[in-house]
Amino acid sequence: MTFSPISSIRRDWSEVETGDSVLQDLYGGFHRSRVGIVDLDPKPISAIIKHHLREAEMIKAYNNSSLE
């Protein structure tokens, strides 16, 4: 997780990108936060395909349940 200060004088919101969260500290300063996840363990192709198919099944089940 990273935190970057946003200019407190100008409140330059152009520094904030879509997907960033903006937090205000106890002193009134604003900071954008960004979370990134990296998995460096190699995976076999079969595991990637398995997870892709499982995700597709979950989305299909969700879409079918929301129609009822």
- The percent of residues above 90 in pLDDT, for the chain, comes to 13
CA angle 32, 33, 34 (to 5 degrees): 130
Mean pLDDT of 19-33: 76
Where are the alpha helices (H) located in the chain, listed in sequence order? 45-66
CA angle 35, 25, 5 (to 5 degrees): 60
Dist. CA 15–CA 53, nearest whole Å: 38
Phi, psi for 2 (deg, rounded to 5): -120, 150
Q: Which domain holds residue 54?
A: 2-66
Domains in the chain, number: 1
Q: Answer yes or no: is pLDDT of 37 > 90.
A: no
Q: What is the DSSP letter of 56?
A: H
- The percent of residues above 70 in pLDDT, for the chain, comes to 66
Report pTM.
0.36
